[in-house]
C-alpha cells in the first residue's frame, strides 16, 4: 500500500472514531493498526465532535466505559488537531473524559455541564 493510500486509510479510521461513524470498538481496533506518530494533523477535532459524543452518551449509544474509551483513544494523538480558538478547552475535555480516575467520575451531571459549556461556545 502506498504512503498516500495508507494516510487516507488512517484518516478515515481516525474520523470513524472522532465522529462515531461505526461501532466504537470496531473503529478503535481499526485505528490501533496505525502508528501514533504523525507528520501532521489528519483530522481536526471540533466542539461539534465533543457534543456528538456527549449526545451519544445521553441517548444511550455510549455508556460510561464507551465514552471513556472514545476519549482515551483520541487524547494525545499526534494526528489529531484541534479547532482554532478552542484548543485548550477541547484538550481538557478529552483529558477529563479519558481520566475519570484522576479528574471527575463520568456522570450524567458532568456530561450535561460539558454539553452546556460547549453549546455556549457555539453561540
Model confidence band, residue 102 (pLDDT cutoffs 50, 70, 90): very high
Does 4 score more than 80 pLDDT? no
Which DSSP symbol is given to 43? E
Distance (Å, rounded) from C-alpha 1 to C-alpha 61?
34
How many domains does the structure of the chain reveal? 1
Task: Evaluate if residue 1 carries a pLDDT over 70.
Answer: no
- The boundaries of the domain holding residue 11 are 3-122
Q: What region does 22 belong to: left with phi over 0, alpha with psi -120 to 50, or beta?
A: beta
As a whole number, mean pLDDT of residues 24-46 equals 92
In tens, the pLDDT along 54-100 reads: 999 999 999 999 999 999 999 999 999 999 999 999 999 999 999 99
Asked if the model's pLDDT at residue 3 lies above 80, the reply is: no
pTM for the model: 0.93
Tell how far CA 6 is from the center of its chain: 21
Reduced to 3 states (helix: H, G, I; strand: E, B; else coil), residue 45 is strand
Amino acid at each position: 500500500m502506498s504512503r498516500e493510500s495508507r494516510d487516507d486509510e488512517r484518516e478515515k479510521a481516525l474520523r470513524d472514531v472522532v465522529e462515531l461513524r461505526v461501532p466504537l470498538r470496531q473503529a478503535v481496533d481499526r485505528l490501533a493498526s496505525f502508528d501514533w506518530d504523525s507528520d501532521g494533523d489528519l483530522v481536526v477535532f471540533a466542539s461539534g465532535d465533543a457534543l456528538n459524543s456527549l449526545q451519544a452518551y445521553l441517548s444511550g449509544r455510549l455508556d460510561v466505559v464507551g465514552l471513556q474509551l472514545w476519549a482515551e483513544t483520541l487524547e494525545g494523538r499526534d494526528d489529531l488537531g484541534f479547532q482554532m480558538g478552542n484548543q485548550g478547552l477541547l484538550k481538557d475535555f478529552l483529558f477529563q473524559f479519558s481520566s475519570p480516575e484522576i479528574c471527575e467520575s463520568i456522570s450524567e451531571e458532568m456530561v450535561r455541564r460539558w454539553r452546556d459549556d460547549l453549546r455556549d461556545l457555539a453561540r
